[in-house]
Structure 1
Amino acid sequence: MTEIDDVLVTRAGYDAVAELYTNLVERQLDSNPFDRAMLDIFAALVAETEPGMVAEVGCGPGRVSAYLKAAGLNVFGIDLSPEMIRQAQAAHPDIRFEEGSMEQMSLDDAALSGIVAWYSIIHTPPERVPTVLTEFARVLRPEGHVLFAFQAPEQAQGVEAFDHKVAPGYRWAPDTLAETLEETGFRVTARMLRAPRPDDRGPQGYVLAVRN
């Protein structure tokens, strides 16, 4: 696929399942202490530094944005899918959501205190992920925080393609994503690999980093 093709496939895939997906994930945070713990740590780190705007990139129906707002952050959401944005706006009218791309964000340099990419890089071809991370570094303030969640492969290193139900997907080993972050202007502060829960198709990873 070309760059345009894979973005179009991802947008169309999530547009087609937006309502179903929203219903599927709406209450997932309630039953997942690992997800809540990582989001709570991220919120605490942002609050410790100079607070400012936080973007959830690939926000989908906005459930993570809503969690971060409840934690006291000034958060807004960005997503490729206009149907997902509609779902987010309907469910969380007190939060700003806008259509956009994580590869070219309509933000000034150093505009953000934090970014959450919650299962957002999984549809980006691995060779373009460094471009995404460089864009994240551009829009983050120095010492701004970024949090990733993603599907992880069984092996300790590498990136693995998998058959995602919506669009082609890629699993990242936490150490591999950490190395890529270190090469694109970030300092990794935490990484975690957890065993799958009953509703997971495999291990899940998390990486926290700070912009140099």
Structure 2
Amino acid sequence: MEDPVDITLATYEAAAGTYVDVSARPGPTVPGFLDRRVALIGEGMVLEVGSGPGRDADHLPTHGLRVVRTDSTRAFVERLRARGPDVRLLDARTDPLGGPYRGGLADAVLLRLSRSGFEDSFGPHRRGPSR
């Protein structure tokens, strides 16, 4: 049986442009949510897992945070790079996360992982060197 996450990633790979064009822009509560995260983190580097279009991460540098943008989908990585931000291809299920980070952002990514998949992906044993 194929991993449901792999199916989701293949769908994003095939339709990244359409996703960006038709997905809703952040609602009015998103900046406040991100500002509260910034207040908790303070200064430093933040890992964003699953940057997609990169809209959430665009807000963080305006508050002094450095964002390491990542996505498992090559199409999203290429789209982000084309508009300027540095972003790296990262499959949180298997690749080292790097770090250390002061915080993390993973909007609509973690819901795709099972409990054991989450522990495998984000447990303390996974830090490893960044690539």
* Range class of TM-score, shorter chain: 0.7 to 0.9
For 1:104 and 1:71, the matched residues in 2 are separated by: 31
What is the Cα deviation at residue 126 of structure 1?
A: 4.1
Letter in 2 for 1:134: G
| Corresponding position of 2:71 | 79
Change in Cα spacing, 1:128 to 1:107, as seen in structure 2 (3 Å) is closer
Gaps of 5+ in 2: none
For 1:41 and 1:57, the matched residues in 2 are separated by: 19
| Corresponding position of 1:124 | 113
CA deviations 1:55-88 (Å, max 9, x no partner) are 1101112111111122321002111100011111
Q: 2:40 aligns with which of 45, 49, 52?
A: 45
Greater gyration radius: 1
For 1:34 and 1:66, the matched residues in 2 are separated by: 15
1:129-208 matched pairs, under 5 angstroms: 129-134=118-123, 139=127
Structure with bigger helix share is 2
Q: 1:115 aligns with which of 94, 104, 107?
A: 104
What is the Cα deviation at residue 20 of structure 1?
A: 0.9
What is the Cα deviation at residue 123 of structure 1?
A: 2.1
Letter in 1 for 2:107: W
* Contact 2:48 2:70 (8 Å CA) reproduced: yes
Gaps of 5+ in 1: 140-212
SS in 2 for 1:86: helix
% identical equivalent positions = 27
RMSD: 2.2
Which aligned runs of 4 or more in structure 1 are off by greater than 4 angstroms? none
Aligned residue pairs total 127
Letter in 2 for 1:97: V
| Corresponding position of 2:92 | 102
Structure with bigger strand share is 1
* Contact 1:22 1:87 (8 Å CA) reproduced: no
Q: Tell me which of the two structures has the higher relative contact order, counting C-alpha pairs closer than 8 angstroms and 6 or more residues apart.
A: 2
| Corresponding position of 1:11 | 9
For 1:24 and 1:68, the matched residues in 2 are separated by: 23
For 1:89 and 1:23, the matched residues in 2 are separated by: 17
